[in-house]
């Protein structure tokens, strides 16, 4: 199915537009959260306050994530998307109209937590509904278009979201985000899809508390099987350890770099959004380049080489922004940073696809998602606390050096292993 034929599929077009708008709203929401903390004038503690708020966007991964997929497979996916969008829209709308004027952040933590709990149901429903909208032979084009949608939303949302929050405040950002949810829900309502054959009856769709507990127990059992499988396979264990190190580094810089950019350029989200666009463009170009030329180099070597290059670029970025405070230099470095780290996740996923059996890949990726989110959350909170005592630029440069060290150590060990294998063969 060509792109032209994809766009002739009425239901798929409504779905595609809904995802474009919904993911665009997600980026605005991210900028609004940053603007909310900055607007509260937490001063030196703003890094930690931002980390605490963002932690409530990650915690649902551990609590709701394991059972969300189970129930998405039992519910009508169009209805799931519609309800999730609608409820998230109303939840986000409570922030600018009810909670933003209050001194306490607790109600906002609760709203953010509930909204992202719903997102854990929304994401698998979004991915699962595509086969209901297009024929099996057309899935490649449909999935490619959906991926491009995410990239478009990231770039536009980061840029326009940064400007909306900069000049309209966090209140304006949350209102725009809520509107995108309502528009997305409206578009989803226009989708006309027939559910594929389900294994449950209509009166079994609504789960009782007992059923939910049983499902959770079953999912935890499957997660345990996945952990046992991972421990028995060295290559998969190796990649998960690498991904944990990568996301520990990402977590360590995620909040710190936001406040670092705010301080360097004297804006709340305008320059942050501008640089996020550069990073997104770099990630896109790096992914395209790896897709074209990545087969010429072994995946593990690519990962370590990209870690070294990413560490160098992170160090140069932090030093340059700190000393020059030139947005165009920072933008060029952001593009280069995205370009050199873009292939890492693709290469890691490819290694897992090759190492894990088909029936275990879902469990392996679920375990990896759990591990990397935990690593991200822990280092985000630690670095945010440390940033109250250590200059932001020093933390960013230290993380860059860690990247370089891990990459250099990895290449050394990999070459050493190859040499030993070659000697053994002789």
The pLDDT tens digits of the residues spanning 73-109 come to 678 888 989 999 999 999 999 999 888 778 788 999 9
Q: Is residue 421 part of a domain?
A: yes
Same domain membership, residue 282 and residue 164: no
CATH number for the domain that contains residue 170 = 1.20.1250.20
- Do 182 and 241 fall within a single domain? no
Whether 162 and 241 share a structural domain: no
Q: Is the pTM of this model over 0.85?
A: no
DSSP state of 194: P
Residue 209 falls inside a structural domain:
no
Among 170, 190, 210, the domain-final residue is: 190
Domain count, the chain: 2
Position 191 scores a pLDDT of 86
Question: Do 306 and 341 touch, CB atoms closer than 8 A?
Answer: yes
Q: Is 216 within the bounds of a domain?
A: no
Check residue 198 and give its pLDDT.
Answer: 42
> What is the secondary structure of 205-218 as a DSSP string?
SSPPHHHHHHHHHH
3-state secondary structure of 92: helix
Q: Looking at the structure, tell me whether residues 170 and 279 fall in a common domain.
A: no
- Per-residue model confidence (pLDDT) at position 153: 82
> Does 404 lie in the same domain as 271?
yes
Structural domain for 327, as ranges: 225-426
**pLDDT tens digit sequence for 18-45:** 988 988 998 899 999 999 888 876 544 4
Whether 214 is in a domain gets the answer no
Contacts of 96 (CB under 8 A, 6+ apart): 170, 171, 172, 174, 175, 178
Q: How many CB atoms lie within 10 A of CB 299?
A: 20
Is 9 found in the same domain as 64?
yes
Backbone angles phi, psi at 357, to 5 degrees: -70, 160
Q: Rounded to whole angstroms, what are the CA distances from 142 to 106, 138, 350?
A: 41, 6, 21
One domain for residues 282 and 383: yes
* Angle 159-59-287 from CA coordinates, rounded to 5°: 45
Same domain, 300 and 369: yes
* Residue 118 sits in the same domain as residue 231: no
Which of 190, 216, 238 finishes a domain? 190
Cα angle 87-91-97, degrees, rounded to a multiple of 5: 140
328, part of any domain: yes
> Do 186 and 281 belong together in one domain?
no
237/161 same-domain check: no
By the 8 A CB rule, do 399 and 392 touch?
A: no
**Within this chain, do residues 175 and 229 fall inside the same structural domain, yes or no?**
no
C-alpha closest to that of 73 among 263, 205, 246:
205
Please identify, among 165, 190, 215, the residue that sits at the C-terminal boundary of a domain. 190
Q: Is residue 346 part of a domain?
A: yes
Residue 202 belongs to some domain of the structure: no
**Which pLDDT value is given to residue 185?**
95
In a domain, 232, yes or no: yes
Question: Which pLDDT score, from 0 to 100, does residue 399 have?
Answer: 94
Q: Which stretches in the chain have pLDDT values below 70?
A: 1-8, 41-45, 69-70, 73, 136-148, 193-220, 222-223, 295, 353, 358-363, 365-366, 422-426
């Amino acid at each position: 199915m060509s792109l032209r034929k994809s766009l002739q599929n009425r239901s798929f077009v409504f779905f595609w537009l809904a995802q474009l708008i919904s993911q665009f709203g997600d980026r605005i929401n991210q900028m609004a959260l940053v603007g909310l903390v900055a607007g509260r004038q937490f001063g030196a503690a703003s890094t930690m306050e931002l980390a605490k708020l963002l932690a409530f966007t990650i915690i649902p991964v551990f609590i709701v994530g394991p059972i969300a997929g189970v129930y998405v497979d039992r519910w009508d996916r169009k209805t799931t998307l519609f309800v999730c969008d609608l409820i998230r829209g109303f939840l986000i709308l409570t922030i600018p109209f009810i909670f933003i004027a209050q001194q306490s952040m607790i109600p906002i933590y609760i709203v953010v937590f509930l909204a992202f709990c719903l997102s854990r149901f929304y994401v698998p429903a979004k991915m699962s509904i595509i086969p209901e909208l297009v024929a099996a032979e057309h899935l490649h084009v449909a999935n490619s278009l959906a991926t491009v949608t995410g990239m478009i939303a990231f770039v536009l949302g980061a840029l326009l979201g940064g400007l909306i929050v900069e000049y309209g405040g966090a209140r304006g950002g949350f209102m725009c985000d809520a509107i995108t949810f309502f528009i997305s829900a409206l578009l989803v309502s226009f989708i006309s899809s027939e559910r594929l054959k389900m294994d449950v009856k209509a009166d079994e769709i609504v789960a009782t508390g007992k059923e939910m507990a049983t499902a959770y127990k079953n999912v935890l059992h499957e997660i345990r099987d996945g952990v046992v499988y991972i421990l028995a396979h060295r290559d998969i264990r190796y990649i998960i350890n690498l991904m944990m190190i990568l996301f520990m580094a990402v977590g360590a810089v995620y909040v710190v770099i936001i406040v670092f950019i705010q301080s360097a350029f004297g804006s709340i989200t305008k320059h942050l959004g501008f640089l996020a666009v550069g990073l997104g463009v770099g990630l896109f170009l790096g992914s395209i380049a790896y897709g074209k030329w990545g087969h010429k180099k072994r995946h593990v070597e690519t990962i370590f080489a990209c870690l070294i290059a990413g560490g160098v670029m992170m160090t140069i970025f932090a030093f340059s922004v700190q000393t020059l405070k030139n947005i165009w230099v920072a933008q060029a470095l952001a593009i280069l940073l995205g370009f050199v780290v873009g292939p890492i996740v693709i290469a890691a996923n490819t290694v897992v696809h090759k190492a894990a059996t088909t029936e275990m890949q879902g469990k392996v990726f679920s375990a990896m998602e759990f591990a990397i989110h935990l690593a991200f959350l822990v280092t985000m909170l630690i670095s945010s606390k440390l940033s109250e005592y250590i200059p932001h630029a020093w933390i960013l440069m230290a993380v860059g050096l860690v990247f370089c060290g891990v990459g250099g150590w990895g290449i050394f060990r990999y070459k050493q292993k190859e040499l030993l294998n070659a000697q053994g063969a002789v």
